[in-house]
Amino acid sequence: MSLADYQVYPDVDNLMAEIKQYDLAEHVVELEAYGITVVPPEKMQISDDFVERLRNAIIRACEKRNGIEIGDYRTSKLASADAFKNSWDLLEEDEVFVEAAINPVNLALVRWLLGQSAVFSGQTWIIKGSGAEGIALHSDSHGIPPGAGQIAHMCNASWVCTDYAGAEDGPTVFVPGSHHYGRATLPHEGDMENTPYKFVPLIAKAGSLAIWNGATWHASEKRTKPGIRITLVQNYMRTYMRAQRNYETTSPQLLEKYPELERVIGKSLYPYEDSRNADYSRVAPFMRTGTDPFA
Ligand SMILES: O=C(O)CCC(=O)C(=O)O
Ligand SMILES: [Fe+2]
C-alpha cells in the first residue's frame, strides 16, 4: 500500500496518482533538485500530429499578426526582430493552444510546482532566426524578492516545437540548482561570456516539454544554424498578492495633487488587459524587485 492510498492528503494524493500514471517521478525529482526537467514527446500523451499542428499554428499566427511570410521553418530566413512582435495571448488563435495549455502531463507538473490552485498566466511564441543573438541569464519569477525561495511562485512550461540538437540551434540554457538561490540575477551575473555560473543546454526533440521553476536561472545561446527555432512558452502562476482593485484608474487630478498616492498605487506589470500593448517601461523595475527585498 502506498501513502497515497490512504487518501488523507487529497491535494498531494491526486498528484501522486498522476505522477505514477504518466511515469513522471524522475521529472519531479529533477524539478526539485535542478529546477528544470525535459519530458520527451513519447511521455506527453500527445497525438502524432500535435507538434506539427502547434508549430503550424504559431507560424500562421505570426504571419497573420505581423503581415510577414515565414515559409518552411527548416529553411526560413526570417529575422527574429520581425517575429518577436505581437507574440502573446494565443489561446483563441487556434484550439491547439488550448490543448497545449491543458495537456494532462503538463498540468501534473505545473501543479506539482504551484499547487492545485495554479492558474494559467499566458502563452507566447519564441521564433528565433539564424544568426539571432542569445539572451542573458535571468529568472522568470519577476517581482519575487530574495527570501521567498522555498517554493515555486510561477513556472515556465515551454513546448519545444523544433528539434534542439546542440548549441547551433540556439537553445535555452539553465544553471542547475539556481532556483535554490531564491533571487533574480544581478547585472554582473547575467553576461554569458563571463558569468561564473555553470550551465547546461536544453537538448530536446520537437514535441518535448521543458518545464522549470520560474526562479531557475536561464539564458539562451546564439543560433547559428539555418532555419528558425520555434517554441511555445507557457507561464503559470500562484494566485496570491494581486491588488484587490486596479487603482490606476484613479482620477488624474487626484494623482497629480498627491504624488505619494500615485507612487503607492504603483505601476504593476501584471495583469495587463492585452499584453501586446503592455507598458514595457514597467518590466525593468518589476524585474529589479527580484534582486533585493528593499528594491
Ligand atoms: O530560449 C530562449 O530563447 C529564452 C527563453 C526564456 O527566457 C523564457 O522562455 O523565459
Ligand atoms: Fe526567461
Q: What whole-number distance in Å separates Cα of residue 193 and Cα of residue 127?
A: 23
Pocket test for ligand 1, best of 135, 159, 163, 222 (most atoms within 8 A of CB): 135
User: Which position has the higher pLDDT, 266 or 149?
Assistant: 149
Q: Whose CA is nearest to atom 7 of ligand 1?
A: 219
For residue 1, the CA-to-ligand 1 centroid distance in Å is 42
At 244, the pLDDT band (50, 70, 90 cuts) reads: confident
Ligand 1 touching residue 218 (CB < 6 A) = yes
Average pLDDT of span 53-75? 97
On whether the CB atoms of residues 223 and 166 are closer than 8 A, the answer is: no
On whether the CB atoms of residues 231 and 126 are closer than 8 A, the answer is: yes
Ligand 1 touching residue 156 (CB < 6 A) = yes
3-class secondary structure, 117: coil
**pLDDT at position 1, please?**
87
Ligand nearest to the CA of 287: 2
In a domain, 96, yes or no: yes
Max intra-chain CA distance, the chain: 67
For residue 173, the CA-to-ligand 1 centroid distance in Å is 9
Most confident of 81-90, 163-172, 263-272: 163-172
Q: Give the number of domains in the chain.
A: 2
What integer best gives the mean pLDDT of the chain? 94
Q: Which three cell numbers stand for residue 107?
A: 498540468
**pLDDT at position 234, please?**
98
Residue 274 shares a structural domain with residue 224: no
Question: What is the domain-level CATH number for residue 131?
Answer: 2.60.120.620
For residue 125, the CA-to-ligand 1 centroid distance in Å is 10
Q: Whose CA is nearest to atom 10 of ligand 1?
A: 140
Q: Where are the alpha helices (DSSP H) in the chain?
A: 10-21, 25-33, 50-66, 80-83, 95-102, 104-114, 252-257, 259-265, 283-288
**pLDDT at position 207, please?**
98
- Give the start-end residues of each E strand in 153-224: 154-160, 172-174, 200-201, 209-213, 218-220
Q: Work out whether strand 154-160 and strand 229-237 pair parallel, antiparallel, or are unpaired.
A: antiparallel
Residue 252 shares a structural domain with residue 159: no
Ligand 1 touching residue 230 (CB < 6 A) = no
**pLDDT at position 37, please?**
98
- Of 213, 237, 261, the position where a domain reaches its end is 237
Q: What whole-number distance in Å separates Cα of residue 236 and Cα of residue 101?
A: 9
Quote the pTM value: 0.92
Residue 174 shares a structural domain with residue 263: no
**pLDDT at position 276, please?**
67
Alpha-carbon dihedral of residues 249, 254, 255, 261, nearest 10 degrees? -100
Q: Is the pLDDT of residue 30 over 90?
A: yes
Average pLDDT of span 101-119? 97
Average pLDDT of span 198-219? 98
At 289, the pLDDT band (50, 70, 90 cuts) reads: confident
In a domain, 293, yes or no: no
Residue 277 shares a structural domain with residue 201: no
In a domain, 65, yes or no: yes
Which ligand 1 atom lies nearest to the CA of residue 218?
A: 7
Residue 86 shares a structural domain with residue 195: yes
Ramachandran category for residue 224: left, alpha or beta (phi over 0 → left; psi -120 to 50 → alpha): alpha
Q: Is the pLDDT of residue 251 over 90?
A: yes
Q: Is the pLDDT of residue 79 over 70?
A: yes
Least confident of 126-135, 271-280, 283-292: 271-280
Containing domain of residue 268, as a range?
247-288
On whether the CB atoms of residues 161 and 55 are closer than 8 A, the answer is: yes
Q: Is the pLDDT of residue 33 over 90?
A: yes
Residue 116 shares a structural domain with residue 231: yes
**pLDDT at position 287, please?**
86
Residue 268 has a CB neighbour count (10 Å cut-off) of 16
Q: What whole-number distance in Å separates Cα of residue 41 and Cα of residue 214?
A: 22
Give whole-number Cα distances, 94 to 61, 148, 255, in Å: 9, 37, 41
Q: What whole-number distance in Å separates Cα of residue 210 and Cα of residue 203?
A: 10
Ligand nearest to the CA of 232: 1
User: Which position has the higher pLDDT, 275 or 16?
Assistant: 16
For residue 154, the CA-to-ligand 2 centroid distance in Å is 12
Ligand 1 touching residue 139 (CB < 6 A) = no
